[in-house]
A and B are shown apart, each in its own frame.
Chain A
Amino acid sequence: MSRFWKQGEPQVWGTAAALTITLLMVVTLISVVMLNGLGFFWPSDTALVSLKDGTTLLGEITDKEKATATQGVKLQFKVGNRDLYGQDFRWVDKKDVKSLSYPDNAIVLERKENGNFYGFLKSLSLNGAQTPASADPWEQLLSQWKSVKQAQHNLDGLRDKMSDLNSAAENLRLKILKLSYRDKTTNQKEIETLSVQQEKLLTEFNTLLDKLNSATAEINQSTALFQDASGEEKEIALTDIVRAFRPNTMGFFAKSAFYAGKVKELLVGEPRESNTEGGLFPAIFGTVMMVLFMSIFSLPFGVIAAIYLREYAKEGLLVRIVRIAVNNLAGVPSIVYGVFGLGFFIYGIGSGIDQLFYPERLPTPTFGTGGILWASLTLALLTVPVVIVSTEEGLASVPKGLRQGSLSLGATKFQTLVKIVLPMATPGIMTGMILAMARAAGEVAPLMLVGVVKLAPALPIDGQFPFFHLDRKFMHLGFHIFDVGFQSPNVEAAKPMVFVTTLLLLAIVITASSTAIHLRNKMKKKYATKAF
């Protein structure tokens, strides 16, 4: 046997292969998410296909598959028109295709309901009256659609007013409930005045509602008549159209602008169609709020524990036990934290709060059910070890000489800590906080038990008193992935949205943690020479 084998070079290569496989897996994972997530918003061309059996299809080619050697290539079309066909996708054998073209007048509509519509524009009818056939119907459609949007937008003020009235009435209702719970007879007068107020609010609300309804009905009269590939006609109200475009006529820049519009909608828009379309704003907002609340709890606790371990405790059994506890806090499965949060925060503390402060609302729970406060507390407990470990590293990197210098000048231990050590350990604390936030943003399992929901009716912060609603349920990006990907009725149609959400979450988490790791490595370098 040659020296090459004896010296163990092949083994070295074997270990290298293990690393390569690991890295390849990560690269694959990230590129799959990127490819699927980034491509979703790009408007692809719409193909008109006529098949050998005489049927015609209009749709995007979304997938190609070589089934087996004998069957040849199959094409997957997104044909949309769920209300007409029942299914969004259709598989077609490539050899059945007679002709394939990309007609300029093919229109794609994003609708509020029933997914995309693929077809051709036939005619336009405004407020019940047919428009003249002379003008270009497409231009007319766009301008009409814009004016309808404007009209709808004008109604938003009305809606805001109504929601204010609604919440004021709800507050009054709760007040009345509270008064009558305490003592109905002594508070009778107050209750009556409040009831009158409530009544007034309700009538005001109803007049506004009527106004809104009539205005909406008027807008809804503007419709357009469309035709699908097989000639079937479909009348669609302009208000139902979210976007209308002709992908086959769009150039690169038009497509880019379209893409940017979609990304903007994703970041600031509300979800549509049971979360499979539209924006992610409530989920992004919920995630950010939850993570911020969490840091308020976990940061001080983690930093103090780290200071104890590094600066105050004397090496011994107790410190060993505390370290074991920290490791267990880090190693206990996250679902156990969820169970703990459910049993302790929600049904323990939350129910207690309800009985003390909101007995009039029972059995409807206020804090005795999942909410953003309990979710933040649960995750705070989960992320404390991350803060402890990073802060400890930060404290350890502060050279001993600095501490001794401060102490020898007569500063107390606490003064040394606050004025000398902590400022220098700030990068470590920052690292810990960022890592904890990244962890919390990606954690889903415990949240499912303590307050995350698929669709929250209101954000945890809004313009209504007391502005922070800690008892409200919230949406979360990670749970959004699980819910839309695994619990929506039409998984195939929902998949692109899940990929986009995944991409967003992954981008947030990876950016956060690479910042943290970068910060930490810089810190290590900074004090590395001074430490010894």
Chain B
Amino acid sequence: MGLRSRNDSLPDTKRFLARAKKNDRLAAWLINIGGLLVVISVIGILLLILKVAAPLFFTPDAALVSTTNLSGSAPEGKILNLGIDENLKTGFLISDQGTVTFFNPQNGAVSDTVTLSAPGDSNPGIAAITVAPDRHFDILWKDGSFSAVQIQLENNSDNQTAGQPAHEIETLTAEKRVESGPIPLLSLARFAEKDSPSRIDLLPGNRFIFSRKTTVTDLMGNETTTNTRTPFEAAIPGKITAVALDSKAEFLYAGTDTGHLLRWSLSEGESPQLLDSVQTSAKGSPVTALNLVLGDISIAVGNADGSFSTWFPASETGLGSSKVLTRIHPLTSHGSAVTAILPSPRNKSLYSLDKSGSINVNHMTSERHLLTLKGKTPLVLFAVSPRDNGLIGLDAGNRISTWQVSNPHPEISFRTLFGPVWYENYDKPEYVWQSSSANDDFEPKLSLTPLIFGTLKGTLYAMIFAIPLALFGAIYTSQFMGPKMKKIVKPGIEIMAAIPSVVIGFLAGLWLAPLLDKGIVSVLVSVIVIPLSVLLSIVCWKKFRTKPLLKKISVGYEFLLLVPALLLGIYASHALGGVMETALFAGDFKLWLFDGFGARFDQRNSIIIAFALGLAVIPLIFTMAEDALSNVPKNLSAASLAIGASRWQTAWRVVLPSALPGIFSAVMIGFGRAIGETMIVLMATGNTPIINWSIFNGFRSLSANIAVEIPEAPVFGTLYRVLFLSAVLLFIFTFIINTVAEILRQNFRKKYGRF
């Protein structure tokens, strides 16, 4: 405010000053907030991606929704089995009188009672019921006849207004008894094709009957039905106590009271073959429950001593040898005998009930004990809802309990993410990433180890290539190069840092990879030839350097004089490569590699990555290392030169040690960039998640994996969260590296007091 208004407008000036001060305070406040916002965003990024990944490790939830007695027309007789729909709105009980009672599990109100039709004329009552997936019940009647029914509960939430939820009982097969003799203890039927049931009857004395009905339609459209019946006997000391059959009736499993587990293969036209007989318990504890895990590969075995495990055939000695049933996953033991095992209809979880009436929920692959469910009174029977979101249980007093279960990520444990896991159909525990497959009963293999390995492999090879070039280049530029050239070269390399990684990735994948595929031997040769050509040019230089003209141009321009030498070296390696391939590797290096070492050669391999990723990090390391070297005070090098040290001695012994922390931090920043680089790795490797160090193979890195898989991952599903977890890992890797590098650099700056 001007002087002229001092007297007459003092309040104005005051107001102006007050406003200026206020603005100043406000601005200071805002700017401070803005500065802190940087810290907040870093922490925010970590926390928010962590928040998405965290539910992977939450323990599953189970809530007892209700416990009730049936009211109204409760079923008579003994309850043999039960079930519940996917909305936990309708349950049903099957009694030994042959009735199915539908009810509301919340209040026990009976809505409908249906009597099952027996294959015979009258209803003799049910002797035994076994349950197969999809609410398919195998019913053995007391007169020896057999029927299989499927109970459908259509319970769309849309037609709640229509009153009663619809239910339908479909009879899959009904067979009268055909032969005399003892009545079977148990009968199971499976339908590999509709209308062609395969059936197993267990008779007293460890005898089985395998019967199959096949219906063939010939060209004229006539159907012929053939029935084959094959009785066979299990020649074992004990008594069969549990039986399981897979859904295509290809394998029959049985457990005995001596603790043995038996496996037969059932195939058409041949008599069943006993494949395995293995002891499941060290103490010979009887097998009390058997069931197949979803996918029909693994079998879950429960013993009288409460031990619980899953088994599948695996060859112990490796390829080629025959496969033997092997205990794969020991799961949490029960306190008392396991009485029933049910598989989850959605994943590889298992529900098992013991004699004391409590249910354990385990996941097979992760061997994770998820839940223990106990009713108010011990349970004797239970069933799982089709969406795996609830359970219904029945106690000895016919009281019904319902649980709501939320178990979104059972397959994730620390070990399935990082450790070796024995997956189905594998011969030993392995680290595998295979997130999806065509079929639903697939066992997801979500080991991050091959991806972490791939990330480190790519980074390591790239750094081996990049560090020497970048650091030596930086030393030359900062110490020996003439100032005129430096003004061109340094910005040149800085501009190189701006080259988008997608450009480098594209050239590496579509231009360099095919080129290298043809001239791989030349590249290998060049590792020797190019240094040789440099050495040769140095020797030549020593001879000619005394020429006065050369002396003038040499100092500070060595790198330009080397261009022809290097081009010559490249040409020599190219020429030599062809000759060597014909001479040493019989004209085909890849074939030689495969025959000699069994090593595959991928076109997009780690050599490509070393070049491409190296090229991406060189400018970064170069620029920072050059800065560090240039910032070493000039008086140090001047003193060294003054006492007679050569320019190399000064650079190597004086400047370099002083700049070491800065150089180290440059290397770490480069390392951090290489770890997280996505596009180059995505485009220039085959993205196969394998674990090996071969430079002729590709890999899959954490970052490329995210880019490949996240568009396909269902939101908030397990894969989605695992990908977020890998982002968290990447964040933490780079956070540590960058923080250490920054602290080093801050100390370095403090030491030399600049910047």
Chain A residue with Cβ nearest B582: A69
Known contacts A19-B473, A308-B35: does B502 contact A482 (CB below 8 Å)? yes
Chain A 464-493, CB-CB to B under 8 Å as 1, else 0, gives 000000000000001101100110000100
Interface string of A320-349 (1 = CB under 8 A from B): 111111111111111111111011100110
Q: Name which of B209-217, B357-365, B555-563 contacts chain A.
A: B555-563
Closest chain A residue, CB of each to CB of B498: A513
B492 contacts partner chain A, Cβ-Cβ < 8 Å = yes
- B400 within 8 Å of A (CB atoms): no
Stretch with Cβ within 8 A of A (4 or more), from B23-31, B253-261, B375-383, B391-399: B23-31
* A414 partner, pick from B24, B534, B678, B683, beta carbons under 8 A: B24
Residue of B nearest to A26 (CB): B496
Spot the interface stretch: A154-162, A180-188, A444-452.
A444-452
Partner of A510, one of B498, B560, B703: B498
Among B151-159, B198-206, B645-653, the stretch in contact with A: B645-653
Please determine whether B495 and A517 come into contact, CB atoms closer than 8 angstroms: yes
9-residue interface stretch from B110-118, B231-239, B404-412, B736-744: B736-744
Q: Using an 8 Å CB-CB cutoff, how does the interface string of B475-514 with A read, 1 for contact, 0 for none? A: 1110010000000010111111011111111110111000
Among A32, A324, A335, residue most surrounded by chain B Cβ atoms (within 10 Å): A335
By a CB distance below 8 angstroms, the chain B residues around A322 are 35-36, 38-39
Contact B558 A327 (CB under 8 A): no
Contact A335 B506 (CB under 8 A): no
A312:B510 contact, CB within 8 angstroms:
no
Q: Who on chain A is nearest to B30 by CB?
A: A304
Our pick among A335, A344, A495 for the contact of B676 (Cβ within 8 Å) is A335
Main secondary structure of the interface of A (DSSP, over half): helix
- Could you mark each residue 284-326 of chain A with 1 if its beta carbon is under 8 Å from any beta carbon of chain B, else 0? 0000000000000000010011011101110000001111111
**Within the assembled complex, what's the spacing in Å between the Cα atoms of A389 and B673?**
17
Question: Does the CB pair A327–B738 fall under 8 Å?
Answer: yes
A491 touches B473 (CB 8 A): no
Shortest C-beta distance, A37 to chain B (Å), equals 11
Q: Is B192 located at the chain interface by the 8 A CB criterion? A: no
Given contacts A17-B534, A415-B20, A481-B506, contact A335 B37 (CB under 8 A): no
| A355 vs chain B, min Cβ distance (A) | 15
* Segment among B45-53, B82-90, B171-179, B632-640 that sits at the interface with chain A: B45-53
CB proximity to A under 8 Å, residues B710-743 = 710-711, 715, 723-724, 727, 730-731, 734-735, 737-739, 741-743
Binds A, one of B306-314, B331-339, B342-350, B464-472: B464-472
| B528 at the A interface (CB under 8 A) | no
Chain B interface size, as a band, is 35 or more
- B7-22 toward A: CB 8 Å interface, digit per residue (1/0)? 0000000000000110
The interface-forming segment of A84-92, A221-229, A434-442 is A434-442
CB distance from B145 to the nearest CB of A (A): 50
Chain A 137-166 per-residue mask, 1 if CB under 8 angstroms from chain B, else 0: 000000000000000000000000000000
| B35/A312 in contact, CB under 8 A | yes
- A29 to B678, Cβ gap below 8 A? no
Digitize B671-711: 1 where CB-to-A-CB distance is under 8 Å, 0 elsewhere. Answer: 01101111100110000000000000000000100110011
A17 in contact with B707 (CB, 8 Å): no
* Residues 417-469 of A contacting B (Cβ, < 8 Å): 417, 435, 438-439, 441-445, 448-449
Q: How far is the CB of A394 from chain B (nearest CB, A)?
A: 14
Residues of chain A lying within 8 A (CB to CB) of residue B38: 305, 322, 325-326, 329, 384, 388
CB pair A334–B734 under 8 Å, yes or no, is no
Partner of B503, one of A12, A335, A338, A505: A505
Distance A13 CA – B475 CA, assembled complex (angstroms): 11
A9 to B476, CA, bound (A): 12
Q: Nearest chain-A residue to B755 (Cβ)?
A: A396
Contact B469 A21 (CB under 8 A): yes
Q: Is B42 an interface residue (CB 8 A)?
A: yes
Q: Which of B48, B472, B647 contacts A14 (CB 8 A)?
A: B472
| B562 touches which of A2, A20, A311 (Cβ 8 Å) | A20
Q: Mark B742-755, 1 if CB is under 8 A from A, else 0.
A: 11001000000001
Give residues of chain A (492-512) contacting chain B, Cβ–Cβ below 8 Å. 495, 498, 502, 505-506, 509-510, 512
> For chains A and B in complex, what number of residue pairs have CB atoms within 8 angstroms?
321
Does residue A134 face the partner (Cβ distance < 8 Å to B)? Answer: no
Known contacts: A16-B559, A17-B562. The answer to whether A307 contacts B672 by CB under 8 A is no
Q: Which residues in window 1-49 of A have CB below 8 A to B?
A: 2, 4, 7-26, 29, 32-33, 36
Question: How many angstroms from the CA of A486 to the CA of B563 in the assembled complex?
Answer: 34
- Beta-carbon contact of B500 and A328 below 8 Å: no
Tell me, yes or no, whether B420 is within 8 Å of chain A by CB: no
A27 to chain B, nearest CB (A): 10
Using Cβ atoms and an 8 Å threshold, which residues of chain B touch A479?
Answer: 502
C-alpha spacing A14/B530, complex, angstroms? 11
Question: Would A438 and B35 count as touching, CB distance under 8 A?
Answer: no
B residues near A26, Cβ cutoff 8 Å:
492-493, 496, 615
The reply to whether B710 and A509 form a contact with Cβ atoms under 8 Å apart is no
Residues of B within 8 A of A329 (CB): 38, 41-42
Q: Separation in Å of the B725 CB from the closest CB of chain A?
A: 10
Contact A18 B563 (CB under 8 A): no
Q: Are A10 and B538 in contact (CB under 8 A)?
A: yes
Question: Which partner residue on chain A sits nearest B511 by CB separation?
Answer: A32
B48, B477, B506: which contacts A19 (Cβ < 8 A)? B477
**B residues in contact with A313, CB < 8 Å:** 32, 35
Select A333's contact among B507, B651, B730, beta carbons within 8 Å: B730
B676 neighbours in A (Cβ, 8 Å)? 332-336
Q: Contacts of B611 on A, CB cut-off 8 Å?
A: 25
Is there an interface contact between B28 and A312, defined as CB atoms closer than 8 Å? Answer: yes
Chain A residues with CB under 8 A of B504: 29
Q: Is the CB of B48 within 8 A of A348?
A: yes
Residues in B with CB closer than 8 Å to A18 are 468-473, 476
Contact of A514 with B491 at beta-carbon distance under 8 Å, contacts A332-B734, A343-B49 already known:
yes
Residue contact A482 to B742, C-beta cutoff 8 Å: no
- Known contacts: A20-B566, A339-B724. The answer to whether A13 contacts B538 by CB under 8 A is yes
- CB of B542 within 8 A of chain A? yes
CB distance from A528 to the nearest CB of B (A): 13
Taking the closest CB of chain A, its distance from the CB of B67, in whole angstroms, is 37
Residue in A9, A15, A20, A513 whose CB lies within 8 Å of B475:
A15
B426 at the interface (CB under 8 A from A): no
Is B587 an interface position by the 8 A CB rule?
A: yes
* B669 at the binding interface (Cβ < 8 Å): yes
Nearest residue (CB) in A for B647 is A12
**Once bound together, how far apart are the Cα atoms of A308 and B40, in whole Å?**
14
Which residues of A are found within 8 Å of B501, using beta-carbon distances?
442, 444-445
Q: Are B509 and A486 in contact (CB under 8 A)?
A: yes
Q: Which among B20, B491, B498, B587 has the greatest number of chain A C-beta atoms within 10 A?
A: B498
Q: Is there an interface contact between B42 and A328, defined as CB atoms closer than 8 Å?
A: yes
Quote the shortest CB–CB distance from A409 to chain B (angstroms): 12
Q: Kindly list chain A residues whose C-beta atoms are within 8 Å of the C-beta of B618.
A: 22
CA of A255 to CA of B499, assembled, Å: 31
Given known A-B contacts A336-B49, A347-B715, A495 and B510 have beta carbons under 8 A apart:
yes
B509 touches A336 (CB 8 A): no
The interface residues of chain A lying within 8 Å CB-to-CB of B429 are: none
Hey, what's the 0/1 contact readout for B538-566 against A, CB within 8 Å counting as 1? 10011000000000000000111011001
Asked whether B677 lies within 8 Å of A19 as measured between CB atoms, the reply is no
From B500, B558, B651, contact of A13 by CB (8 A): B558
Chain B residues within 8 Å of A381, by CB:
41, 45
Q: Is the CB of A517 within 8 A of B494?
A: yes
Does A203 reach chain B (CB closer than 8 Å)?
no
9 tightest Cβ-Cβ pairs between the two chains A and B:
A333-B676, A442-B500, A8-B648, A308-B35, A304-B34, A18-B472, A445-B678, A7-B646, A331-B738
Identify 7 residue pairs between A and B in the complex whose beta-carbon atoms are under 8 Å apart, listed by A's number.
A33-B503, A313-B32, A321-B39, A323-B746, A328-B742, A509-B499, A510-B499
Task: Known A-B contacts: A19-B469, A482-B679. Give 10 more (CB < 8 A).
Answer: A14-B472, A18-B473, A24-B563, A332-B738, A339-B723, A343-B49, A384-B41, A435-B498, A443-B500, A448-B707
